[in-house]
Structure 1
Amino acid sequence: MIHFKYRPITLDFTFSAGTSRGVLRSKPSWVIILEIEGSLGIGECSLIPGLSPDNPGVIESKLENLRKNGVYRNKICRKETPALFFALEMAYKGLENRNPFLLFDNEFSKSRSALNINGLVWMSDAESMLAQAKEKASSGFNCIKFKVGALPFEQELKLLQEFRDSEFGVKMEIRLDANGAFTKSEALNKLEQLSRFNIHSIEQPIQPGQWPEMKRLCQESPIPVALDEELIGIQSKEDIQHLLDYIEPQYIILKPSLIGGFEVSDCFVEEAEKRNTGWWATSALESNIGLNAIAQWAASKNNDLPQGLGTGGLFHNNFESPLQVERGCLNYRPDASWADIETWIREK
């Protein structure tokens, strides 16, 4: 019989993390632990307030039900609670591999190769964002993503111009993430103005659920469009095919905690690659537990595009781990351990 327990944790940001949806200072996660015959499986249910489909109260209720009545994956509705489903998927994979932190056996998890990642510039005032971008560039990143949509648009244009004109910005690959901040009436005009900065792509320029308008942007925008929040709730193979065939995006962004785990992400990758649609994985602000799982999964796909997986340093109280960002790459250090999380689990 599999023994099940869980512990909630509030992850505290090292700074006020601004997006066009507001400012995050902390976020909830639950660590779940499966144990059978001395083997452990560990997963993380990570929520982003205001974005994740999972309701925190429902998560608590379902976790308590699993603790009392036994853990069965078929009791969890992936549509209703994709982050919880992913956490269980993560934990079972570690259990099956008899190593809670080795989910995918590949060159990354063996510390033989690194993952290329983008540096993320969080929303703040323009001066602070420019300083963030220059710091990321000087530390070795070749791709930087700016959050846009919260500042006055003219300030954002000036910020990008100043960065492009700097010694750091001349050859830098720039991505943008609007988090749906543009209205459908203004989006194309804004994308045309942004295009003069040689932008690689822009994530979710308008709010999800406006498929005809998003399709038009993908057809007419001078900047390639990447779907992000648009993928939430799309889980069956038929729905994935319909989304990609109708909107025809240039890129899709995969956040397993938001879309329902590895199996759904695998389907998105398979269908996207059939259509020559690019993709990369991004964390949903998981601790190092979830970040490790997503990084190992992404490494198994042999995708050379920079991944959005540089979020391990966001929290004061993250778990120590072998994950390390160095010169724009995520590495799995062979000389480090997961002793921090193992101690934390035993505390209660």
Structure 2
Amino acid sequence: MFRIEIIPYTLRFKQPAGTSRGVYHEHRIWYVLLRDVEDPSHVGIGECAPLPDLSCDYSDRYAETLSDYCRITEQEQQINTELLREHSSILFGLETAMLHYRQRSWQLWDTPFSRGETGITINGLIWMGEFREMMQQIEAKLEKGFGCIKLKIGAIDFEKELALLRFIRSHYSAREVELRVDANGAFAPEEALEKLHRLAELKIHSIEQPIRAG
């Protein structure tokens, strides 16, 4: 039998993280700690880390909602997946904690990555900012050898964002560097199609959330 403790924590960005919804300087997260009542050394830890205005399940009452669902999980001694379908970050945190608790190990899955045999290919993320700042981020990622660059767009002038993408394309073909963009819903529906056509000219691999939901 386990009890659940919620541990709030604040992460602070090393540099401001700009998106079309605003600039993040810190990130409030909540750790969920499952602890066996008979063996306090037997624990499971998970992380609930929604971003305000970006995560679908974030609200001003997030901490209270998390507490409510942790209490239900504690009472039932299992995760009610269907009940948590609309609260993805809470479900993720509890599932991770439960898996850790049951495995009694940080190696949650038996994969080449978890065995330390291989890494995971990731993109080089470029946060929004002033044109010069974004250019510096791009140059740094390319120097490190990233084969995929993902730009947050929608906060500065669209023509300047296209200029950043053209800079990459002038030095690297689509085969050499894959380009992705994430607008976080910044495009107005009436202008989205035109902007997508202009992005396509630069052989963009994909765009995430060009318009807001609804």
> Alpha-carbon deviation of 1:148?
1.1
CA 1:56–1:46: 2 relative to 1, 3 Å: farther
2:162 to 157, 160, 168: 157
Corresponding residue to 1:97 among 77, 91, 103? 103
- SS of equivalent to 2:83: coil
- Aligned mate of 2:42, from 34, 39, 42: 39
In the alignment, residue 103 of structure 2 is paired with which amino acid?
N
CA distance in 2, matches of 1:124, 1:146: 11
| Map of 2:84 onto structure 1 | 78
| TM-score, with length taken from structure 2 | 0.87
Distance 2:129 2:162 in 1: 14
> Once the two structures are superposed, what CA deviation does each residue of 1:62-119 show, in whole Å capped at 9, x if it has no partner?
42784699354239931443211221111111111111x2221111000011111100
Structure 2 residue identity aligned to 1:19:
T
Three-state SS of the structure 2 residue aligned to 1:4 is: strand
- Going from structure 1 to structure 2, the CA distance change for 1:87 and 1:69 (only over 3 Å counts) comes to closer
Which SS does the other structure have where 2:61 is aligned?
A: helix
Contact 1:30 1:45 in 2 (8 A): yes
- Aligned-residue offset at 1:54: 3.2
| Aligned-residue identity in percent | 40
SS of equivalent to 1:207: coil
Q: Which structure carries more relative contact order (alpha carbon 8 Å, separation 6+)? A: 1
**CA distance, structure 1, for counterparts of residue 73 and residue 180 of structure 2:** 46
**In 1, distance between residues paired with 2:211 and 2:72?**
43
Could you tell me whether the CA contact under 8 Å between 1:17 and 1:122 is conserved in 2?
Answer: yes
Deviations 1:27-58 (A, max 9, x none): 21111111223422100111101122133534
**Matched residue count:** 206
Contact 1:77–1:85 under 8 Å retained in 2: no
1:138 aligns with 2:153: no
Q: Distance in 1 between matches of 2:187 and 2:72?
A: 46
1:6 Cα deviation after fit? 1.9
Alignment of 1:144-293 (within 5 A): 144-166=149-171, 169-170=172-173, 171-209=176-214
Task: Tell me if structure 1 keeps the 8 A contact 2:7–2:31.
Answer: yes
Partners in 1 of 2:67 and 2:151 — Cα distance? 36
Q: Is the CA contact (8 Å cut-off) linking 2:21 and 2:54 kept in structure 1?
A: no
Q: Which residue of 1 aligns with 2:94?
A: 88
Distance change >3 Å, CA 71–CA 47, structure 1 → 2: farther
Call closer, same or farther: CA 1:189–1:162 in 2, change over 3 Å.
Answer: same
Which residue does 1:308 correspond to in 2?
Answer: none
Matched, 1:57 2:61: yes
TM-score by length of 1: 0.55
- The corresponding residue for 1:122 is 127
Task: For residue 105 of structure 1, give the secondary structure of its aligned residue in structure 2.
Answer: coil
Residues 62 and 76 from structure 1, CA distance in 2 versus in 1: closer, same or farther, beyond 3 angstroms? Answer: farther
RMSD: 2.2
- Distance in 2 separating the partners of 1:204 and 1:44: 25
CA distances 1:275-307 after superposition (whole Å, capped 9, x unpaired): xxxxxxxxxxxxxxxxxxxxxxxxxxxxxxxxx
Q: Aligned pair in 2 of structure 1 residues 128, 82: CA closer, same or farther (>3 Å)?
A: same
Q: Distance in 2 between matches of 1:69 and 1:124?
A: 41
Partner letter of residue 172 of structure 1? V
Whether contact under 8 Å (2:52, 2:59) holds in the other structure is: no
**Distance (Å, rounded) in 1 between the aligned partners of 2:161 and 2:97:** 42
Aligned partner of residue 116 in structure 1, secondary structure: coil
Please say if 1:11 is aligned against 2:11.
Answer: yes
Confirm whether residue 107 of structure 1 aligns to residue 112 of structure 2. Answer: yes
The answer (yes or no) to whether the contact 1:2–1:71 under 8 Å persists in 2 is no
Contact between 2:54 and 2:184, CA under 8 Å: does it hold in 1?
no
The letter for the 2-side match of 1:95 is Y
1:323-338 correspondence runs (5 A): none
